[in-house]
């Protein structure tokens, strides 16, 4: 008990960060251990922090939407990605195969078979003979599942188009460059900690 009392007395009286404050660079990296911003003007640091907060807010909104859609559809994240792929194939009149789905999801053939078995049992997909390749199967999403996906998560995600459409062409170019640059900055290369079997 005395140890706990001493611990609490030693804690800072500052309030814990809430909401988007957690994305503020002065909260996440107060001593510059991750990002050296000593050469930046204070106003620039504040603006970059505001941008990080906005990105964090977008990520949180997408997470909440994803969680809601998974609950509604009673599927997992990989299942939903598979259904999205099948909808995209149907929209392009392309034949979806187990191999193409496995490549899209980055999973093994065995895992793909288990996934398709699960989706078929749930009435979400149909497997049929490939129209031109007798050695392959064609996969299609059922009309009921397609409608359910479009009317829920699909319609909600589509609202992002409105936000992009409200920008001018020049503003969209800036956003595109920024998002591509950020994706390249955080893309995993050969970081040892990210390899299979690595742990802290």
Whether the CB-CB separation of 125 and 80 falls below 8 Å is answered with no
Residues 53 and 122 in one domain: no
Residues 52 and 96 in one domain: no
Report pLDDT for 125: 97
Report pLDDT for 19: 67
* Distance between start and end Cα atoms, the chain: 30
Q: How far apart are CA 112 and CA 126, in angstroms?
A: 14
Q: Per-residue confidence at 7, pLDDT binned at 50, 70, 90?
A: very low
Residues 47 and 82 in one domain: no
Tallying the residues shown for the chain, one arrives at 200
The mean per-residue pLDDT over the stretch 35-39 comes to 92
> Taking each helix axis from N to C terminus, what angle separates 77-91 and 42-73, rounded to the nearest 10 degrees?
90
- Other CB atoms closer than 10 Å to residue 10's CB: what's the count? 7
The domain of 147 spans 74-151
Report pLDDT for 3: 46
Whether the CB-CB separation of 24 and 52 falls below 8 Å is answered with yes
Residues 92 and 116 in one domain: yes
Q: How far apart are CA 113 and CA 78, in angstroms?
A: 13
pLDDT in tens, 91-142: 999 999 999 999 999 999 999 999 999 999 999 999 999 999 988 899 999 9
Q: Which residue among 151, 176, 193 closes a domain? A: 151
Residues 132 and 86 in one domain: yes
Whether the CB-CB separation of 140 and 96 falls below 8 Å is answered with yes
Q: What percentage of the chain carries pLDDT values higher than 90?
A: 71
**Domains of the chain: total:** 2
Answer whether residue 26 is part of any domain. Answer: yes
**Could you tell me how far CA 55 lies from the centroid of its own chain?**
12
Whether the CB-CB separation of 26 and 49 falls below 8 Å is answered with yes
Residues 56 and 111 in one domain: no
Partnered with residue 96 across adjacent β-strands are 139
Answer whether residue 166 is part of any domain. Answer: no
- Other CB atoms closer than 10 Å to residue 25's CB: what's the count? 20
Residues 145 and 96 in one domain: yes
Say which CATH number the domain at 101 has. Answer: 1.10.10.10
Residues 81 and 143 in one domain: yes
Q: Per-residue confidence at 21, pLDDT binned at 50, 70, 90?
A: confident
């Amino acid at each position: 008990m005395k140890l706990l009392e001493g611990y609490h007395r030693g804690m800072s009286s500052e309030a814990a960060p809430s909401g988007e404050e957690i994305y503020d660079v002065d909260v996440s990296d107060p001593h510059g251990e991750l990002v050296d911003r000593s050469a930046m003007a204070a106003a620039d640091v504040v603006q970059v922090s505001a941008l990080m907060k906005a990105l964090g807010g977008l990520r949180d909104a997408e997470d909440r939407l994803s969680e809601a859609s998974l609950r509604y559809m009673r599927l997992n994240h990989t299942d939903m990605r598979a259904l999205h792929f099948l909808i995209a194939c149907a929209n392009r009149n392309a034949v979806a195969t187990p191999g193409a789905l496995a490549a899209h999801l980055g999973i093994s053939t065995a895992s793909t078979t288990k996934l398709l078995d699960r989706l078929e049992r749930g009435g979400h997909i149909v497997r049929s003979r490939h129209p031109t390749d007798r050695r392959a199967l064609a996969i299609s999403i059922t009309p009921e599942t397609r409608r359910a996906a479009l009317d829920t998560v699909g319609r909600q995600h589509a609202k992002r188009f409105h936000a992009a459409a409200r920008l001018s062409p020049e503003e969209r170019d800036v956003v595109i460059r920024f998002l591509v640059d950020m994706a390249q900055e955080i893309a995993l290369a050969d970081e040892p900690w990210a390899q299979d079997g690595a742990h802290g």
